[in-house]
Amino acid sequence: MKIKFLLLILFTSLIGFSQSVNDFKAVIVPIKFDFAKGINPYRLSTMTKANFAKAGFNAYYENDQLPAELMNRCDLLYADVKRDNAFLVTKLFVELKDCYGKVVYTSEIGRSKEKEYETAYRESLDLAFTSIYKLQYKYNGKTGAASAILPTAVVTTSTVPVTTNAAAPEADISDPNLLYAQPTETGFQLIDKTPKVVMKLMKTSRPDSFIAIKDGVQGTLNAKDNQWFFEYYKDDKLVSEKVSVKF
């Protein structure tokens, strides 16, 4: 009986945590893809954005300046087009993730036997979007949908109480390089708008200083003069890089 009760609780929780594309205000379209070189290769970004617009979404390129009402990145979906390798057939599908990288929706696979890349990509992408059109997307008015279903409290594993400082440097939300802090068991991970993990932070006894790792380089992230700086040694010289972070 106890096991059945626990399973019922788990099932109910999973239902409560489910997300719909209708929970999000807009979709961010990439300008680069893993399977093709360059920016907007074969006009893939252009075609993807046009298809999302046709499906009723407000679509923006990842390097666009977003309007003020879309500054909460957890109100947005992040699209990616992926290629499924196949012999003599081009297969593409569309993946939609939330601000934490969780997959919200995956389209059906579109196929094309055309030999010319741009034609094959257009045909297979249009076919993949057929399933997205069927979603009949319409924003349902939720705010901060993704952030509302994930823990926001910092989990402290040491006996030293560590929190973010109320007087910590304020983030410049207009900065295109702004990084967003996600809580982890040992501190935070900083992600960009794609979203991609750029830096990992581990808490110390000071709220204005973290052990930081970026691209395999270990240093510290420190608050100074109302700004954050990533500091590390390179060739026996101290390097200090300004980092814009929103906690």
CATH code, domain carrying 129 = 3.40.50
CB atoms within 10 A of CB 184: 14
Block residue for tokens 């929103």: 246
CA distance 131 to 146: 23
Co-location of 172 and 226 in the same domain: yes
Q: Which domain holds residue 71?
A: 19-133
172 part of a folded domain: yes
Co-location of 124 and 177 in the same domain: no
Residues facing 220 on adjacent strands: 211, 231
Co-location of 122 and 155 in the same domain: no
| pLDDT band, residue 147 (cuts 50/70/90) | very low
217 part of a folded domain: yes
Co-location of 180 and 114 in the same domain: no
Give the global pTM. 0.57
Co-location of 227 and 167 in the same domain: yes
85 part of a folded domain: yes
CA distance 26 to 175: 20
Computed over every residue of the chain, the mean pLDDT equals 82
| pLDDT band, residue 231 (cuts 50/70/90) | very high
Co-location of 50 and 114 in the same domain: yes
What's the number of CA atoms in the CB half-sphere (13 Å) around residue 190?
22
Block residue for tokens 């609780």: 9
pLDDT of residue 8: 46
Co-location of 189 and 127 in the same domain: no
Of the candidates 133, 165, 186, which is a domain's last residue? 133
129 part of a folded domain: yes
Co-location of 112 and 171 in the same domain: no
Sign of CA dihedral 95, 101, 105, 108: positive
CB atoms within 10 A of CB 205: 9
| pLDDT band, residue 165 (cuts 50/70/90) | very low
4 part of a folded domain: no
